[in-house]
Structures are given as C-alpha cells and as structure tokens.
Amino acid sequence: MRKKLLLALPTLAVAALLSSCSGGKMTYALYNYGGMQYAGTYYENIVYNNEKNMTPETLCALVVGYEDIIQHPTGLRKMPPPGICAEYGYLLLKPGTATTFAQNATDVQKNWYQTDDYPAFFKNRGIEMLKKEIELYPESKTFIEPFIEKLSK
C-alpha cells in the first residue's frame, strides 16, 4: 500500500500544479452579466442598488445596464444570459418606467435610445425583448407568451 502511495504522489503533485494554473480571466463562462466588479457583477450591482435604494436615478441606471448587457454580450455563447431579455422587457413595460426615465435620465443615458417618445419606444422595445427571450431560450415560451398576448389586447 505504501509503495502505491509513493508511486501516485508525483502524479498527484503534477495534477495539483496543473489545476492551479489559470489564465487569469474566466474564459470558460457561457454567459457574462456585464463584467466583474468588486463584490459581484455589474448586473448584480445595478439590480441590488435599484432594489435597495429605488430612486429614479437607480431605475435609469438599471434600464441602461440591461440595454448594455443585451447589446454587448460576452462569454463563450456571445448572447445575453438566460432571463435578462425577459427581465428587461418586463421593466420597460412596467407602468411609470418610461416617464421616470424621460424625466430623470442623464443625457448620456438618453443617448442609448435616440427617441423622445419613451412610452411608445419602451412598449415596443419591451415586447421585442420578451420575444427575444423566447427566441434565445425556447423553454421560456410557456411563461412569456401569455404575457405578450395579454399586452397585445
């Protein structure tokens, strides 16, 4: 038994050494939620800040944050993470989001959208995002399609 352990020891040492080597970046993640920041991802931080503080400014940051994650997907799959399009669509369709954004967004945040009619734009973009969620993740159809039908009436 002792001889087998001594023979296995060099193999275990090499395996441990190789497993500890990493390129520094997590290049194996399928999805990226907006880049790593201290204490979580960008997505986690903007959602947490909006839920904790819930001010017009945090809502505007959340709207633009979702748009950024969707327009610039990273990770191995190069597509928005599951649920992001649905969350974003729902946020855009919530009553008051368009008005709050129009009244409180900075010029930089408004430049993401190139419109003056935020209620119409947010409604169209919200439905578009819900449909995109179904397109990217067909298993979400059962949950999201009735919501889209209700909005269409």
pLDDT in tens, 61-72: 899 988 988 888
- Of 9-23, 37-51, 58-72, 74-88, the least confident: 9-23
Q: pLDDT digits over 107-120, tens only?
A: 999 999 989 899 99
pLDDT level of residue 2 (50, 70, 90 thresholds): low
The answer to whether residue 61 is domain-embedded is: yes
Within a domain: residue 18? no
User: 106 lies in a domain?
Assistant: yes
Print the SS3 string covering 32-101: CCCCEECCEEHHHHHHHHHHHHCCHHHHHHHHHHHHHHHHCCCCCCCCCCCCHHHHHHHHHHCCCHHHHH
Residue linked to tokens 């989001």 = 97
Q: How far apart are CA 98 and CA 92, in angstroms?
A: 7
Tell me, what's the pLDDT at 40? 52
Q: Is residue 9 part of a domain?
A: no
Query: What pLDDT score does 136 carry?
Result: 95
Q: What is the number of structural domains in the chain? A: 1
Dist. CA 89–CA 80, nearest whole Å: 13
Confidence of residue 34 (pLDDT cuts 50, 70, 90): low
| Domain span at 55 | 29-152
| Within-domain flag for 92 | yes
* Structural domain includes residue 81: yes
Q: Is 14 domain-assigned? A: no
Is residue 55 one of the residues assigned to a domain? Answer: yes
37-51, 70-84, 92-106, 117-131: which range is least confident on average? 37-51
